[in-house]
Amino acid sequence: MPTFSVFTDVPLAQKLEGSLLKTYKQDDHPNKMFLAYRVCLTNKGHPWVSLVVQKTRQQISQDPSLNYEYLPTMGMNSFIQASLELLFGKHSQVIMENRAGGVHTVGDSGAFQLGVQFLRTWHRDANIVYIISSQKEPHGLIFQDMGFTVYEYSIWNPKNLCLDPNMFLSMVEQIPSGSVLVIGNIIDCKLTKSQWAKLMSIMKSKRVFPFFDIPCQGFYTGNLEEDTRILQYFVSQGFEFFCSQSLSKIFGIYDEGVGILVVVAVSNQQLLCVLSQLIRFTQALWLNAPSTGERIITSILCNPALRRQWKHSLKEVVKNIMLIKEKVKEKLRLLGTPGSWNHITEQSGTHGYLGLNFQQVDYLVRMKHIYIPKNGWINFSCINANNIDYITQAISEAVFFTKGPEKYLPKHQK
């Protein structure tokens, strides 16, 4: 039996999911709860899947005309076009001028992997990356592995309990010239017209290259156009940029990993050059991304009746999430929980901040077996009629506990 191994010095990597989920799985408490799942859940605690997706998947599986031949490396043309129109709008300036294109990738991580490899090769002057979002994103690891220096910032203001536009502008002002700026979920960061103008001016003067992350279009406001309005600002100002467009979550096909790296260039000629280089990288990385999810999404987006059903299902999800947030806020108010809880309903999307400090989060984890990240960022779709009372009472207890001695506990705990 051989004794030498080239893997001798390879250490065991730390799991990206961290220790929170691992600790939750090892906990044998009957009331344990995990509120940090990435997927959108139904009121029964199962991953949400649009009904129209289930029907379309079945139809495709029974289609005798499919020959399962290799598809184009960049993806089906109909899929790319439908996805671009979903992102920008059918009559968008960049669509009409043929300045936007895309490559089908293996999820949003694949889009970042492809985009980062392009920037490392063809934008060599860019060595610094700033990632600004509502919370910590996983994309920094991809940039780091490719040799970039990465700075990550959250613009959540724990004092004012909101995404702070001034924090956003302050961070952009610090970015060195020629850097890459990754902009994540900042839909709730309400910039004024003058602040938008200032942002554009700073980025243009410093030649900052924007790289957007659009993971859940439609899950924030229920309005597909409103959720990507930030892209329209940059298009109108003539910016070139990359955008990671993830489609898996909004169709409920999480295991398919359907994404697109979207490119916006100043001209069609330059767009074609960029796409040709991206296709070369794609051929080396995965050649063909899985096609099942691509076919499902294309079938829905290109069929007006199916598209309407899907958009309606998105609005229902957003409506249900907002109802959950309203109930959480009201129950905390009725329990007499100190502080204002309006920030819960002022945040868009399935995920958001509870507004708890580290001590309060630690209390929930250790004493109530409710597992949430240290920053209090949770998935509100994890809350349903079966657990909302336990969760809100636990939150109230955690807040009272950290405010003072036992005499300040709510009545039901005395």
Global confidence as pTM:
0.92
Segments making up each domain of the chain, as ranges: 19-47+315-408, 53-302
Handedness of CA 58, 309, 188, 329 (dihedral sign): negative
Q: Which residues does residue 384 pair with via DSSP β-bridges, in sequence order?
A: none
Segment-wise mean pLDDT, segments of 10 residues, the chain, 414 residues: 82 73 92 94 93 93 87 94 96 94 95 96 93 82 94 93 94 95 90 92 96 94 93 93 96 93 97 97 92 95 96 96 98 95 95 95 96 94 96 96 56 47
Q: What pLDDT shows up at residue 414?
A: 45
Q: Are strands 156-157 and 162-163 parallel, antiparallel or unpaired?
A: antiparallel
Q: What pLDDT shows up at residue 250?
A: 95
Question: Do residues 382 and 372 lie in contact, with contact meaning Cβ atoms separated by under 8 Å?
Answer: no
Residues with Cβ < 8 Å from 308, sequence gap 6 or more?
Answer: none
**The CATH number of the domain covering residues in 53-302:** 3.40.640.10
Q: What pLDDT shows up at residue 404?
A: 57
Q: Which two three-digit tokens encode residue 376?
A: 């209090």
DSSP, collapsed to helix, strand or coil, labels residue 168 as helix
Q: Which CATH architecture has domain 19-47+315-408?
A: Alpha-Beta Complex (3.90)
How many other C-beta atoms are found inside a 10 Å radius of the C-beta of residue 193?
Answer: 7
Burial class (CB in 10 A: 0-12, 13-18, 19+), 319: exposed
